[in-house]
């Protein structure tokens, strides 16, 4: 900072010796509160607020049973997004990184999810009175990894030719699917009755508030993304700042979602950590503007302040003849200053 700027800052730190005008702080705040409340009320009456019902595994398995079963098989064979995610859910990958910085890995696996066990095998095991299903699960679990893969691959390929009956069951051509076919049929039935919604919530206690597992399972399928795309909420639709319907969403995230639309972020496997790093840096700079040479000087160079303080500058009258009178405000009339 130059000596001249330091002098000016010192001037700005001085208590104002110029004219004061009467000002009722509490009255202004009360009026402002009334205006804001009235504005919110008008917007509420005109536009209300959106409330699209949530998807459930029950509704998903009924409206799109093939997608449900396809997703369930990917959970079973370990190829789903969740199964291959990495921290904090599992060790299937090390997660995103920038150079040697692997925060995702370093913070560990604190929300453990075993996709095959949690989404398929355990729910099937919890179904009441189904010895045939338990036998199928036992057969699958006792088979070699290569045998399991052969069954799930064959079943997945067959799903391309799957048909849905009027009873919302999935039919596939005959083939060697081992126990996978009866397992998937049972899981579909369980899901369509609503049982799987509850089974994925259950952990060690009666009260539940953690929806991680059912949400992760649904996110692996198309149930959420199809609805989101229809509501212009997709990542490539600037969805982060949108809202269901025609409502404004988190508009203040425009810059955050902007980065996802351009390279290298839009094509990077580490897009999230890269965008977080950029936004973290920009946020830090934003907070530190007062001490950043260049950025803090822009307001002096682009004289928007002349518009803001137009009345004040006009009140100063003709240019002064001494430096001192140029930097000092006009003296107040007698007793104009409060206190």
Q: What is the pattern of x (binds another protein, CB under 8 A) and - over residues 268-307? A: --x-xx-xxx--x--x--xxxxxx----x--xx-x-xxx-
Name all contacts of 189-194 with Cβ < 8 Å and 24+ positions apart.
190/123, 190/124, 190/127, 191/57, 191/58, 191/60, 191/61, 191/68, 192/58, 192/61, 192/62, 192/65, 192/168, 193/58, 194/56, 194/57, 194/58
Shortest separation between residue 83's beta carbon and another protein, angstroms:
15
Angle between helices 65-77 and 180-192 (to 10 degrees): 130
Structure tokens at 317: 């009258």
159 versus 277: smaller Cβ distance to another protein: 277
The secondary structure element, H or E, covering residue 65 is helix 65-77
Our CB check for another protein shows the closer of 44 and 142 to be 44
Check whether the bond before 88 is cis (ω within 30° of 0). Answer: yes
Question: Least distance in Å: CB of 216 to another protein?
Answer: 7
Cβ proximity to another protein: between 198 and 235 the closer is: 235
Residue nearer to another protein on the CB measure, 31 or 164:
31
> Which of 96, 108, 98 minimizes the C-alpha distance to 278?
98
Binder of another protein out of 79, 88, 122, 159 (CB under 8 A): 88
Q: Which of residues 26-65 bind another protein (CB under 8 A)?
A: 26, 28-29, 32-33, 35-37, 39-41, 43-44, 47-55
How far apart are CB 77 and another protein at their closest, in Å?
22
Q: Is the peptide bond before 205 cis (omega within 30 degrees of 0)?
A: no
- Work out the angle between the directed axes of helices 145-158 and 180-192 (0-180°, nearest 10): 60
Closest residue by Cα to residue 124 from 61, 58, 57, 183: 183
Q: Please say which residue, 39 or 135, places its beta carbon nearer to another protein.
A: 39
> How far does the chain reach from its first CA to its final CA, in angstroms?
35
Q: What is the closest distance, in whole angstroms, from the C-beta atom of residue 190 to another protein in the complex? A: 21
Residues 169-208 that bind another protein (CB under 8 A): none
Question: From the CB of 122, what's the least distance to another protein, in Å?
Answer: 19
Report the residue from 61, 104, 186, 189 that binds another protein according to the rule CB under 8 A: 104
Among 65, 78, 87, 182, binds another protein (CB under 8 A): 87
- By CB under 8 A, name the one of 157, 261, 329, 331 that touches another protein: 329
| Chain residues 221-250 in contact with another protein, contact rule CB under 8 A | 224, 227-228, 231, 233, 235, 239-240, 243-244, 247-250
Q: Per-residue DSSP letters for 165-191?
A: -TTS-EE------TTHHHHHHHHHHHH
Q: Smallest gap, in angstroms, from Cβ of residue 92 to another protein?
A: 13
Q: Pattern 111-150, binding to another protein, x per CB under 8 A?
A: x---------------------------------------
Q: How far is the CB of 196 from another protein (least distance, A)?
A: 16
Tell me the angle at which helices 180-192 and 131-142 cross, rounded to the nearest 10 degrees. Answer: 130
Alpha helix stretches (DSSP H) within 211-262: 212-220, 223-230, 254-260
Q: Which of 3, 25, 145, 167 binds another protein (CB under 8 A)?
A: 25
């Amino acid at each position: 900072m130059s000596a001249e700027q330091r002098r000016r800052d010192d001037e700005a730190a001085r208590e104002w010796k110029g004219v004061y005008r009467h000002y009722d702080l509490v009255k202004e705040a009360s009026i402002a509160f009334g205006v804001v409340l009235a504005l919110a009320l008008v917007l509420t009456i005109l536009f209300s607020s959106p409330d699209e019902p949530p998807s459930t595994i029950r509704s998903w398995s009924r409206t799109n049973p093939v997608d449900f079963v396809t997703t369930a098989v990917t959970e079973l064979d370990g190829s789903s997004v969740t199964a291959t995610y990495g921290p904090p859910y599992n060790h299937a990958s090390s997660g995103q990184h920038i150079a040697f910085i692997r925060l995702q890995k370093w913070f560990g696996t604190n929300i453990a999810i075993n996709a095959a066990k949690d989404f398929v095998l355990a729910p099937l095991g919890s179904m009441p009175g189904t010895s045939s299903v338990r036998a199928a699960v036992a057969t699958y679990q006792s088979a070699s990894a290569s045998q399991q893969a052969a069954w799930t691959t064959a079943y997945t390929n067959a799903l391309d030719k799957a048909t849905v009956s009027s009873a919302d069951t999935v039919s596939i051509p005959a083939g060697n699917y081992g126990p996978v076919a009866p397992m998937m049929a049972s899981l579909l039935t369980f899901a369509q009755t609503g049982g799987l919604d509850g089974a994925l919530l259950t952990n060690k206690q009666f009260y539940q508030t953690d929806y991680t597992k059912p949400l992760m399972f649904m996110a692996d399928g198309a149930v959420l993304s199809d609805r989101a795309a229809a509501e212009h909420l997709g990542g490539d639709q600037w969805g982060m700042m949108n809202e269901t319907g025609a409502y404004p969403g988190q508009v203040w995230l425009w810059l955050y979602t902007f980065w996802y639309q351009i390279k290298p972020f839009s094509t990077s496997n580490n897009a999230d950590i890269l965008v977080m790093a950029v936004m973290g840096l920009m946020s830090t700079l934003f907070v530190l503007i007062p001490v950043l040479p260049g950025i803090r000087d822009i307001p002096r160079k682009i004289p928007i302040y002349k518009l803001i303080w137009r009345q004040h500058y006009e009140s100063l009258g003709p240019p002064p003849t001494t430096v001192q009178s140029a930097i000092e405000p006009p003296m107040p009339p007698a007793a104009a200053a409060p206190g």
